[in-house]
Amino acid sequence: MPFKDASLILQCPKCDVINYLDPFTFWNFKGKVKCAGCDVVYEVALTNGIRAGAPKETKGPHDRCPGFAQTKDWKPITTPGKVAAAPQAREDFQGKPIPISKSIRGKVVSGKPLTAADLVGSVPKMFYNGN
Amino acid sequence: MAIDKSLKDMTFEDYCRTVFNTKKRYDKPEVLKGIRAISTTQYILGPSCAAYLAELGAETIKVELPKRGEPMRHTTPFNEPFLYPLSRWMPEKGTGLGFFGANPNEYFLSLDFHKPEAIQIMKRLAAKSDVACENYRAGTFDRWGIGYRQFKDLNPRMIYQWMGGFGGWGPGRNRASYDILGQAQGGCFSITGWHKEYGGMPSKQTIWIMDYWGGAISAFNVLACLYWRDNVSGKGNFLEYSQVHGAQRHLTDFISLYGKTGIVPQRFGNFEPLLCVHGILKCGKSSYPNSKNPQEQEVGYCLVSAYKDEDFQKLCKMINRADLAKKYPTHADRVGADAQSAIYPELEKFAADKTKEEFDKACKANGILSQPVWNSKEVAANEHWHMRGTLQWLDDPTFGDVLTQGPAYQLSDTPARVRWAFKPVGADNEYILSKLCGYSGSKIADLEQKEII
Ligand SMILES: [Zn+2]
């Protein structure tokens, strides 16, 4: 099978950009996908990760963006709006420590950076003092 | 001890409820009280072994590098949730939640093994301990002069459990191992994941199941050796646990299938090669369509098991496909790959306009075994587990209000328990060094000054 016909890849016939239809989103999918290179919208259908036929050029708006895209000479395209954001476990995902001071049921938890003055030995003062 | 008359007359359920009452867990004796274990472990395999002993009441002393602690403290999901402080020297740094679950109830001592004084301290601890758990690369502690051979001279009753990837001898011994490597080499991943029609990818288990299993087996070996030492021989023992061998030990029938027929077992995704219907179905609707959390917006999944002929008939009737029950009347007709590939999509068509709860309800109404595939939110909300103490909100003395797993088993008179989730690096330096090494406060301050602890 030629590379451009592989199931989860949409190589744009117009601009040659390779749009990766990530399996998480596109395993079972029928709808419109926008090329990350030239914004042309294609109709795509996949069942259990297998492509139903060649992508057909159509009019927008698109349903989804590809998960990841590359130009023909392997330069990644990461511009928001051109490719979809990676699926995240939470809306406010930052990828770095998010300070918290309450558990999900609203009680005190030591979840934020402290200073040496905040400690008694190894224990935060608030717990040592019973808040 | 005579049994209380009221206990004797109770129903079995009430008897269990009374003798296992988790509210009284902290008032009862601990079954391993009096046993002392040193844990020079990191990541999950070694720590979980030590943690199981600590949950049962052994005085378990975890020894880590000063200030930073072991690597697992710096591992947390997507680098987001931490508990503070990491140590008294680094209050602004936290311990990642990856450390959770593998280190409860332990005392935390910091030691830099590169310094001769630290080696002396380890020897003093070894002389007074029953058990040592260790999972550095094979032979590392032996080279440092604090392995089993050296400890045995100081304490012939010591049980020394080394845990690692590939064993202490043999051509593959020198690699460091992780759960993922153990599972890959042990053969586990090759049978978990998608069938070739569904993409064929092997799939890893997200939890470190081979680490926790290996820790449990290691703790089990330690207990057997304590029995042998205290009741039979009076002697210690040197134990080796290899993660790769542990992984292949639970491959059920797959190894004998190969040995008998030459068949290499294949992945079968959410179906089951031995039974049909017995798998996980995709339901078309999310249980939380309006949630802000993308994880909750995803569609649900539901397990269904109806492999007996009469159950399969009920299932076919439920989805208005009595013709399928006619076409595949016996289990032998259904269990083949082609039949399964034809049956499951029909079930998923029925589930396509339902949430996992709706599908589950339909199954239950028709007398078919089913269970929605629960996520952590749903597990955490489950009253049954909180009532039985396998999940608990813990008022941790250092970190406050944390939700944690408790022991998954019950002992009526000597229950296991979680006393604290974990502590900062070196939190018990004074306690352990004064109690077991007889060091004064100024001596301990001096060790800290020289960065030995
Ligand atoms: Zn294009």
> What are the strands, taking DSSP E only, across B218-349?
237-242, 278-282, 301-305
Q: What is the pLDDT at residue B174?
A: 72
B105 pLDDT tier (thresholds 50, 70, 90) = very high
Q: What is the pLDDT at residue A63?
A: 92
Q: Check: CB of residue A43 under 8 Å from CB of residue A58.
A: yes
Q: Check: CB of residue B264 under 8 Å from CB of residue B329.
A: no
Digit-by-digit pLDDT tens for chain A (131 residues) are 455 566 788 889 999 999 998 877 788 889 999 999 999 999 999 887 778 888 899 998 999 999 889 998 889 998 888 998 876 666 677 778 889 999 999 999 999 999 999 999 889 998 888 76
Summarised one tens digit per residue, pLDDT across range B61-104 is 999 999 999 999 999 888 889 999 999 999 999 999 999 999 99
Q: Which residue has the higher pLDDT, B52 or A78?
A: B52
Q: What is the mean pLDDT of chain B?
A: 93
Which residues in chain B have their CB less than 8 angstroms from residue A109's CB? Answer: 83, 399-402
Residue with tokens 């057997």: B224
B21 pLDDT higher than 90: yes
Provide residues of B within 8 Å CB-CB of chain A: 77-85, 87-88, 91-94, 197-199, 292-295, 393, 397-403, 423-424, 426-427
Are B91 and A115 within 8 A, CB to CB?
A: yes
Average pLDDT estimate for B327-356: 95
Under DSSP, is residue B142 helix (H, G, I), strand (E, B) or coil?
A: helix
φ, ψ of residue A108 in degrees (nearest 5): -70, 135
Which of A89, A95, A112 is closest, CB to CB, to B84? A112
Q: What is the pLDDT at residue A4?
A: 55
Q: What is the pLDDT at residue B436?
A: 96
Q: What is the pLDDT at residue A110?
A: 96
> What are the helix (H) ranges across B144-236?
148-154, 179-186, 209-228
Q: What is the pLDDT at residue B91?
A: 95
Q: What is the pLDDT at residue A47?
A: 82
Q: What is the pLDDT at residue B3?
A: 65
* Helix (H) or strand (E) segment spanning residue B82: strand B82-83
Reading the block at residue B293, the tokens are 């959390």
Are A88 and B426 within 8 A, CB to CB?
A: no
Distance from Cα A10 to the centre of ligand 1, integer Å: 9
Q: Say whether pTM exceeds 0.80.
A: yes
B198 pLDDT higher than 70: no
Alpha carbon A86 to its chain's center: 1
Summarised one tens digit per residue, pLDDT across range B378-393 is 999 999 999 999 999 9
Q: Which residue has the higher pLDDT, B78 or B310?
A: B310
**Alpha-carbon distance A71 to nearest alpha carbon in chain B (angstroms):** 25
Q: What is the pLDDT at residue A3?
A: 53
* Closest of B150, B146, B152, B135 to residue B241, by C-alpha: B135
Cα(B128)–Cα(B141) distance, integer angstroms? 18
CB pairs under 8 A between A and B: 104
C-alpha dihedral, B331 to B335 to B338 to B342, nearest 10°: 60
Distance from Cα A16 to the centre of ligand 1, integer Å: 6
Count the alpha carbons within 13 Å of B178 in the hemisphere toward its beta carbon: 7
Indicate the pairing of strand A76-77 with strand A29-34. unpaired
Q: What is the pLDDT at residue B421?
A: 97
Summarised one tens digit per residue, pLDDT across range B251-305 is 888 899 999 999 998 888 888 989 999 999 999 999 999 988 777 888 899 999 9
